[in-house]
Amino acid sequence: MAVPCAVPEDGTIAGWQRTGRGLRRDKLLYIDQKNMFSFLVSFVASALLTLLVIKDARLHGPALDANFHGVQKVHAHSVARIGGLPIFLAVALSACISIWRVPAMTSWMMSLLCCSIIAFTGGIIEDYTGRVSALRRLLLTMVAALLGYYLLDARIDRIDWVFSAWPLPYLWLTLPLTILAVAGIANAVNIIDGFNGLASVVTICMLLSLAYVALQVNDMFVLVAALMVAGATAGFLIWNYPVGLIFLGDGGAYFIGFMLGELTLLLVMRNPQVSTWYAALLLIYPAFETLFSAYRRMFIRGKSPTMPDGIHLHSLIFRRVVQWAVGRKDARALMRRNSLTSPYLWMFSLMAVIPATVFWRHSWVLMCFCFLFVTSYVWLYVRIVRFKAPRWMIRHKKHS
């Protein structure tokens, strides 16, 4: 498959190839006039569609989250949990407009949307019916990753090290590794979706990082796609944070997570100058949260790794840090605690996203930051579990 690189004048694949990789000024002009347009279309469409979903009870009637007593429930009123529907529709609309403006992207964009529909379907059906198990949603996402392997050639075919790279030429190795990686990231985004704005802002930052690095290597397809998903997520965010008028839901989490994993894989694997450790560091917060949670449930608590609990890092910050500053008495305090929890995790995730974006080609630096992030995560988790949260995290309650 030919990779669209720079700005064609005729909108054809041949035009992409003739233009070359060296036109910096034209590339920047293209970003201003074309790619930011994709972001804005997705943002406006998502914001309007999300408002429509909130206002029209016929759209979210059976998809209300009215369970206030679950181990991971931190809201006090019924909320529609199908935020993924307007996000998906906004991305699809923006993709169609991008295809109309740049026909060379047709096969790439349509293939990506076809794969993402599978991951999205399992989540949105769960949002409406509550009858799709976590295992089935994971399997559907794995099928989507399998389809992406063949339609988009999205595969893990190397692992970079400090002075060399390890090629992975065998199908029996690259295929399962690719499927597990993409499906794992989609599931990880669903796991961190615990508070208003948490998963949305974290994934927006990651998608913008992808767009920046794609710009550096002239990968215009990944750039456009990442900006579309980021714009749609931002349009949803204005209604989700801070008051939580609508939730992302499983459909939204699996869709955004799949797109994030697939675009990261495409960017890194077809641009050898981008280190594979860029992907590892960029996605390390949701990925390590998932791995650490599975380890904690299986080996420390002796339970199934799929059983939900209320002791994720974001849950601990909510209960043992923010609660001290706000209190726990009424619904208004609960909403305020919810909105104050997410910024802690936004800042924490930026510890990985920012260095990944700056050092995207330097494997040894990225490896060091991965080690630093994991160490910091475990240290912070242990401190909070032992009721010894660092002083800088504690906001003292204001007395009226």
Binding site listing: 190, 250
How many residues in the chain? 400
Helices (H), the chain: 13-19, 24-30, 36-55, 57-60, 84-101, 106-129, 134-151, 171-192, 198-216, 220-240, 249-269, 276-282, 284-295, 313-317, 323-326, 331-358, 363-385
- Does the bond joining 390 to the residue before it have cis omega, within 30 degrees of 0? no
Are 286 and 191 in contact by the 8 Å Cβ rule? The answer is: yes
Looking at residue 12, the DSSP 8-state letter turns out to be S
> How many Cβ atoms from other residues are within 10 Å of residue 133's Cβ?
11
How far is it, in rounded angstroms, from Cα 297 to Cα 317? Answer: 19
Choose among 214, 252, 249: nearest CA to 233: 252
| Distance (Å) of CA 84 to CA 147, 207, 221 | 21, 16, 23
DSSP string of 212-279? HHHHHTT-HHHHHHHHHHHHHHHHHHHHHTTT-SB--HHHHHHHHHHHHHHHHHHHHHS-TTS-HHHH
> How many Cβ atoms from other residues are within 10 Å of residue 150's Cβ?
12
Q: Residues 145, 240, 144, CA angle at the centre, nearest 5°?
A: 10
Are 214 and 223 in contact by the 8 Å Cβ rule? The answer is: yes
Are 355 and 281 in contact by the 8 Å Cβ rule? The answer is: yes
How far is it, in rounded angstroms, from Cα 358 to Cα 225? Answer: 21
Q: Is 354 exposed, middle or buried (0-12, 13-18, 19+ CB in 10 A)?
A: middle
In sequence order, which residues have a C-beta less than 8 Å from that of residue 77 and are 6 or more positions away?
Answer: 331
Q: Give the residue ranges of the annotated binding site for Mg(2+).
A: 190, 250
Are 21 and 109 in contact by the 8 Å Cβ rule? The answer is: no
